[in-house]
Amino acid sequence: MNRIEKVFQTMKKEGKKAFVPYVMAGDGGLTSLKEKLVFLQEAGATAIEIGIPFSDPVADGPVIQEAGIRALNTGVTLKEIVDCIREIRPIIHIPLIFMTYMNPLLSYGLERFSRDIQTSGIDGLIIPDLPIEEEEIITSYLEEVKIELIRLVTLQSPIERIEEITKRGKGFVYAVTVNGITGTRAQFASQLSSHLEKIKSISPLPVLAGFGISTPEHVEEILQYCDGVIVGSKIIELMEADNYEQIRALINATKLPIA
């Protein structure tokens, strides 16, 4: 059983909510990745999303774009990131998920990439610019090595598409909470709660909400309607500021009683 499927089965039995932080591989130098993953694991992260730096990240807001540029400026490559994960994996016990775009994977070679991330210890893959109509280009390789493709549902997704997306895979569904790119938000659209409840009512998979979540209050609010949250831009900002206590506060917000 894939680590992602296993951890969510355990959390469901224990009545817990998930927190998945995002870090950019190579931001601050690739040697810093181990320290970041270890900290997030010890702080209570359910899984960790690891961004692959790319020159044209269409779903990423300014904070993640800047982190990617900093990483690219160090000269880091996808192969080096994969090799780094392989070295770190023995001390990281929670699921690790790559977030990337199709161009780097096509350049690497889809079959080779799928095989290499499996041997390095990656459990899942998020590809925002890969629609379900075209995902067969890589899913056969991923299924062969038991890597979960995590699919996204947006605020604009009709019921029929939500049904089609959520019946695929064994990981979780990534429910996008805003119309637009990643980045912190002061508030969310009024229809977000009903949107998340709709996905939950349809999906046989756990539903995690992401994009724009930046405060413990956001975490508490959104967890009323789904199984967990994904936080990216705010994690990067706090790590840049060496504010690790605020990261702990965000993660601990998942442990508070849900109203």
List, by residue number, the catalytic residues: 49, 60
Cα angle, residue 216 at apex, residues 246 and 169 outer, rounded to 5°:
105
Residues 6+ apart with CB under 8 A from 186: none
Tokens of 236: 């990067």
Specify the amino acid at residue 196.
L
Question: Could you tell me what percentage of the chain is helix, strand and coil, using 3-state DSSP and rounding each to the nearest 5?
Answer: 50, 15, 35
Specify the amino acid at residue 56.
D
Q: Which of 127, 137, 206, 199 is nearest to 169 (CA)?
A: 206
CA distance 51 to 232: 9
CA distance 174 to 100: 14
Tokens of 147: 């890597």
108-133 burial, b for 16+ CB within 10 Å, e for fewer? bebeebbebbbebbbbbbbbbebeee
